[in-house]
Amino acid sequence: MSRSLWRHRDFMVLWSGRTLSETGDAISLLAIPLLAVTVLDAGALEVGVLTATRMVAYLLISLPAGVWVDRWPKRMLMVICLLLRAGLVATVAVGAWFGWVTMAQLWIVALLSGVCTVLYETAHHSLVPTIVAPDQLLDANGKMSTTYSVSMIAGYSVGGALISVMGVARTVGLDALAYLGNACSLLLIRRDEPARAEARERHFRRELAEGFSFVFRHPIMPRLVAAAATLNLFSQMIFALSVLYLVRVLRLSEGQVALTLALITIGGVTGGLVSGRLARVVGTARIIWAAPLGLGWLVLLVPASRPGWGMATYTLGMAALSALFAIYNAASISYRQRVCPPELLGRMTASVRWVIFGVMPLGALLGGALGSWIGVRPTLWIAAAGVWASGLWVLLSPLRWMRDLPADTAGKRNEEAIQVG
């Protein structure tokens, strides 16, 4: 039986620092779109572009990020990214305070912050397996998923209260302090990273190709990537229009928007808490298609919502989506980390995230464009149906007949694939 992570000092330090910055993220995710909608009078397309610019970095630098993460010290790279993100968010707070903030500034800050986020997240997913044992990964990723949802609740709740007291403009800057706190926590981790191999001459294209080779010659992983990409594409259409939908269609106040977004994350908390046990009971292969198909239909409650009682149905539908993400991510990330050789973790993570996160700015732009063309509610109907259908990639594959993913067999096959490629 694996040692409890509650007594694992380095994991607890990593976990607590990430929790702090994710709470700050939630404040910004609430405050900045509200700033755009209520202060700058942004429309559906402008809000969609704002969301897209935050995500477009996954298309631009995810692949080289994997090579850099495998070459450079991961913790120091994460610290640098956090410091840069703190500075970028601070410029929005200063601009909002003095009244010269513009949509162009928000787009630029979102783009540059996205670059830092890609590097930070790639390094984080590669760092976790060096801190905890392989049999602790499912527990560790489940805790991270749960904490993300708890942080969203705290951030939205605190953010809503602060917006009511301080105004939406002045609330943004608190995210910068959260990033600084996370950077300090990373410096407290005692465990040294494994030494990086220096046996052969560096070759950027070859190193990049090894990550792709591992992922797309794998007998299982391409199916998981396709399902996750579909889920992200359609869910991002929903997220891009969320604040606009709540404010202008369901006619909620700023405080009600904050409360709704906080309640939604209860689904993520629940999903994160049960993800490990559910995967063991249902099966680590089955849970990947059972989560979107079993919970995805509830997302249809989002476009079905109406002013008045709509806050309740919207919250239930989005909470189901939040739980879906927590359950799916805990199982799929843990599997990828276990079957991947340590020296390829960064490039494997980057290759997967280039696809599954690379579709997110496309989803945001598509949501904004369709919202302007056919209306917000019809766009949400299309997106909700797409979220449910994402599970079909796995259901209509050989994984349908498997209970658990064959980690050992897959790992051996892919080591051979890397040698051939």
Average pLDDT of span 326-351: 80
Distance CA 32, CA 242 (A): 13
pLDDT at 129 over 50: yes
Contact 193, 74 (CB under 8 A): yes
pLDDT digits (tens, 9 = 90+) for 261-274: 777 777 877 777 77
Q: What is the reported pLDDT for 223?
A: 83
Range ranked top by mean pLDDT from 159-173, 322-336, 359-373, 402-416: 359-373
d(CA 314, CA 252): 12
* Percent over 90 (pLDDT), the chain: 11
pLDDT over threshold 50, residue 19: yes
pLDDT at 77: 93
Least confident interval from 10-14, 19-23, 140-144? 140-144
Over residues 219-243, the mean pLDDT reads: 87
Reply yes or no on whether the pLDDT at 243 is more than 60. yes
- 219, pLDDT greater than 90: no
pLDDT at 406 over 70: no
Between 418 and 95, the higher pLDDT residue: 95
Q: In the chain, where are the structural domains located? A: 5-190+204-420
In Å, what is the CA distance from 412 to each residue of 136, 214, 219, 415?
A: 21, 11, 11, 5
Mean pLDDT of 126-152: 76
The pLDDT tens digits for 181-208 are 999 999 998 887 766 555 455 677 777 7
Average pLDDT, the chain: 80
Query: With 50 as the cut, is the pLDDT of residue 288 above it?
Result: yes
Lookup: tokens for 290: 């059972």
Average pLDDT over residues 12-36: 83
Instruction: Tell the CATH topology of 5-190+204-420.
Output: Growth Hormone; Chain: A; (1.20.1250)
Per-residue pLDDT band at 156 (split at 50, 70, 90): low
pLDDT tens-digit readout, 341-357: 877 887 888 888 888 88
How far apart, in Å, are the Cα atoms of 342 and each of 32, 49, 177, 211, 215?
38, 37, 33, 12, 14
| pLDDT value of residue 421 | 28
Tell me: pLDDT of 409 over 70: no
Amino acid type, 388: W
More confident site: 169 or 303? 303
411 pLDDT tier (thresholds 50, 70, 90): very low
What pLDDT score does 415 carry? 36
CA–CA separation, 133 vs 306, rounded Å? 48
Its sign, for the CA torsion 321, 325, 326, 327, is: positive
Nearest to 313 by CA among 264, 357, 353: 264
What is the per-residue pLDDT for 417?
32
Rounded Cα gap, residues 261 and 149, in angstroms: 11
Tell whether the model's pLDDT for residue 315 goes beyond 90. Answer: no
CA angle, corner 171, sides to 25 and 108, nearest 5? 60
